[in-house]
A and B are shown apart, each in its own frame.
Chain A
C-alpha cells in the first residue's frame, strides 16, 4: 500500500510543477503537432487514378484462365479498372472512343500454341504510345515464360513458399508510407521522449538534496517501498508523453497497423520503464544535478543517434554495437515492422530485447535505491 501512496504523492507533486508539465507534456505536444503536420503533408501520397482497360478472350484455355486470374489479383485491381468485352469490335470502339486506355486481346490459339512450345502473343490495342498496360502484360508474360522454362527442365512446378530472397513489400491502401521524413521525425520525437529520463534523474537527486529521502529512511517502511513508489510515480508521470506518442503514431500510420495497436502500446510502456530506470540509475550514481543531467542527455543523444545512423544505413564499427543497446532502435523496428507488416520474428525479438532491458534496469534501480542516504 505504501508503494501506491508514494507513487500517488510523487505524481501529485509533478502535476503541480508547471515546469515539469511543460517539459514533459506541453513541449512534446507542440512537437507532435508540428511533426503531424510535416508527416501528413509528406504522406498524402499520390492519388492514383486507375487506368481503365478492357479485356477480350477468345481462347479460354488454361493459360488464358491463368491470365484472367492474374487480372483479378488485388495488386492489379489497385492500379487498373478492368472490364470484359464480348467482341473485339466492342473493345476497339471503347479504345477509339477514348473510354478506355487499352484493350487486351487473347487470340483463340493462345493456350494451345504455348502448350506446343510455339511462340504466341497477347495483343494490346491502345491509343497511347506509353501505357502501364504493356508493363502489366509483360509481367504476366515473364511469369509464364519462366514457368515454362522451369517446367521444361524439371517437370511440374510446385511452389510452396515465398523465397526468402524476395523482400516483403507492403502496400498501403491509403498511400501513407514510412519515408525518410517520417524516419527523421520519428527518431527526433523518440529522442524528445527520451529526455523524460531527466525526470527520474532529478527525482532521485532532489530527494537527496532536499533531504526528503531521510524521511523515508527513518520511517517504518520496507527499504524497497520508497524506491518502488518513486519509480512508479515517475513512470506514471512519463506515461502521458508516451500516450501522446502512441496517439501520434496511430494518427499518422494507424491505417497501416492492421489492428496491432497493442504492439505499439506495449512497446511504449517498456520504453517508458527503461527511461525511468535509466534516469534514476544516473541519479543514484552521480547524486549531482548538473552531472546527472549531462550524462542523461548524452546517453539519450547517443542511443537515439545510434538508432538514427542505423536507420540511415550508416552505422559502422562502434555504432553497430551501440545500436544493439539502443531502446530507440528496437522501438523503431517494432513500429516500422508493425506498420509494414514486417517480420513477426523481428517484432517479437525487439519486444523481448526491450523487456529484458526494462527488467535489468528496473532491478538495478531498485538495488541502488535501497541503499541508505548516510
Chain B
C-alpha cells in the first residue's frame, strides 16, 4: 500500500468533519474522491499533507508514519491546491524554480525538471511570461506544474479543473492520464463526475465526514438496485403495443410519448430481445437506448443529494 489512512477523526468544535475515515491507496492507481461540499474530502486530504492536525487516527504514507516522518514524506508528495497558488510577479519559469528549490532541487537538475514540467503542461513557450498575463486555464496548468517539478511519487489534486475552458480541461485530464502511465499514484478530488469516471481506477464516495462507498466505477454501479430503462424511438407508436409490452416478463411499466416508447423493467430482467421483437412487429425502430445507472445516479442514491448541492 502506498497510502493507508486508518480511523481518521477530526472535529471542529461541535462539527464532526471526518468521522472514522479509513482509506487505502495502491501504488499506480488514480483514486477519485467524490463528495458534496462539506463531505470531509478536503479535511481528509489536508490531514494527509500535514495542514490539519487530526484528533485521532493514523496516516501511513510510503510505509512511514506521517507524524514521525513528516518532512521525509512531504519530499515525495505533490499537491495541486484547489485555489491557484502561484506568484504572479514571478515568471512561470521562476515560479517552478522557486518551488523546485523548496524540494531540494538545484543546478542542472533543477533546470531540467523545470523545463520538463513546463513542457508537460504545455507552457514551455510561455516560460518567460508572468502568470498575471495568463488565462485561467494556463494558471491552472502552472499550478499543476508546480506540484510536479520534483517528480513526486504521490500527487494529490484538489479540483484542478475548476473554472477553466474545455480545451485546458482536456489538456489537464490527458496530462493526468499520462502521469499515471508514467507511474505516479494520484488522488483526484473533483465535482465533475465525468472526469472521475474517465480517469479514476477507483472511487471513494464521502458524505457527512464518512466513507459511504468505495470501489471501481463498475462495482459502484453494481450497488444500484434501481430499474433499467429502455427508450425506443419508433416510426409509429400505439397503445396496443404498450399493452403487449407490459405483459413481458420483468416489465414494470411502459408508456409512449409521441413516437418514443419507454419501458421500465426490473434490474437484470434480460427482456430486451422480447421488447425488440414486439416493437418490430408493428413498427420500425429508429433508435434504441438502454440506460445504465450512471455514477451520478449512484451518488444521488447514496447521498440523497446531487454532487453540486
**Which residues of chain A come closer than 8 Å to B90, judged between CB atoms?**
9, 12-13, 16
- Given known A219-B103, A220-B71, contact A211–B84 (CB-CB < 8 A): yes
Tell yes or no: A48 within 8 A of B by CB: no
| Chain B positions 75 through 92: 1 when the CB is less than 8 Å from some CB of chain A, otherwise 0 | 101010101111111100
Q: Is the CB of B87 within 8 A of A218?
A: no
- Given known A9-B94, A215-B85, contact A372–B51 (CB-CB < 8 A): yes
Partner of B79, one of A5, A13, A218: A218
**Which residues of chain A come closer than 8 Å to B86, judged between CB atoms?**
212
Q: Is the CB of A211 within 8 A of B102?
A: no
Tell yes or no: B255 within 8 A of A by CB: no
Q: Interface size class for chain B? A: 20 to 34
Q: Is the CB of A221 within 8 A of B102?
A: yes
**Which residues of chain A come closer than 8 Å to B94, judged between CB atoms?**
9, 12
**Which residues of chain B come closer than 8 Å to A5, judged between CB atoms?**
98, 101-102
Question: Which A-chain residue is minimally distant from B52 (CB atoms)?
Answer: A374
Q: Is the CB of B101 within 8 A of A374?
A: no
Q: Is the CB of B102 within 8 A of A2?
A: yes
A-B contact count (CB 8 A): 67
Question: Which A-chain residue is minimally distant from B73 (CB atoms)?
Answer: A220
Shortest Cβ distance from A129 into chain B, in angstroms? 74
Tell yes or no: B46 within 8 A of A by CB: yes
- Given known A5-B98, A218-B77, A221-B102, contact A13–B51 (CB-CB < 8 A): no
**Which residues of chain A come closer than 8 Å to B38, judged between CB atoms?**
none
Tell yes or no: B99 within 8 A of A by CB: yes
Tell yes or no: A17 within 8 A of B by CB: yes
Q: Is the CB of A13 within 8 A of B72?
A: no
**Which residues of chain A come closer than 8 Å to B104, judged between CB atoms?**
220
Shortest Cβ distance from B40 into chain A, in angstroms? 14
Tell yes or no: A214 within 8 A of B by CB: yes
**Which residues of chain B come closer than 8 Å to A221, judged between CB atoms?**
71, 102
Q: Is the CB of B87 within 8 A of A214?
A: no
**Which residues of chain B come closer than 8 Å to A210, judged between CB atoms?**
85, 88
Tell yes or no: A353 within 8 A of B by CB: no
Question: Which A-chain residue is minimally distant from B49 (CB atoms)?
Answer: A218
A214 to B46, CA, bound (A): 10
Question: Which A-chain residue is minimally distant from B76 (CB atoms)?
Answer: A220
Shortest Cβ distance from A15 into chain B, in angstroms? 9
Scan residues 276-299 of chain A and give those whose CB is less than 8 A from a CB of chain B.
none
Q: Is the CB of B83 within 8 A of A220?
A: no
**Which residues of chain A come closer than 8 Å to B254, judged between CB atoms?**
none
Tell yes or no: A30 within 8 A of B by CB: no
Please count how many residues in chain A sit with their CB below 8 Å of the partner chain's CB atoms: 22
**Which residues of chain A come closer than 8 Å to B53, judged between CB atoms?**
372
Tell yes or no: B50 within 8 A of A by CB: yes
Shortest Cβ distance from B115 into chain A, in angstroms? 19
A50 to B307, CA, bound (A): 94
| Chain B positions 102 through 135: 1 when the CB is less than 8 Å from some CB of chain A, otherwise 0 | 1110000000000000000000000000000000
A305 to B249, CA, bound (A): 92
A374 to B115, CA, bound (A): 32
**Which residues of chain B come closer than 8 Å to A219, judged between CB atoms?**
74, 99, 102-103
Question: Which B-chain residue is minimally distant from A13 (CB atoms)?
Answer: B89
Tell yes or no: A373 within 8 A of B by CB: yes
Tell yes or no: A216 within 8 A of B by CB: yes
Q: Is the CB of B103 within 8 A of A220?
A: yes
Shortest Cβ distance from B38 into chain A, in angstroms? 15
Question: Which B-chain residue is minimally distant from A221 (CB atoms)?
Answer: B102
Q: Is the CB of A211 within 8 A of B81?
A: yes
Shortest Cβ distance from A212 into chain B, in angstroms? 5
- Given known A5-B98, A9-B94, A211-B81, contact A218–B89 (CB-CB < 8 A): no
Chain B residues with CB under 8 Å of chain A are: 46, 49-53, 71-72, 74-75, 77, 79, 81, 83-90, 94, 98-99, 101-104, 146
12 A-B contacts (beta carbon < 8 Å): A2-B102, A210-B85, A210-B88, A211-B84, A214-B51, A214-B81, A214-B85, A215-B85, A219-B99, A222-B71, A372-B50, A372-B53
Chain A residues with CB under 8 Å of chain B are: 2, 5, 9, 12-13, 16-17, 210-212, 214-222, 372-374
User: Can you list the 9 inter-chain pairs with the closest CB atoms, starting with the nearest?
Assistant: A211-B85, A220-B74, A219-B102, A374-B51, A220-B75, A211-B83, A220-B71, A13-B89, A218-B79
Apart from A214-B51, A218-B77, list 12 A-B contacts with CB within 8 A: A12-B90, A13-B90, A17-B89, A210-B85, A212-B87, A216-B102, A217-B50, A218-B51, A219-B102, A219-B103, A221-B102, A222-B71
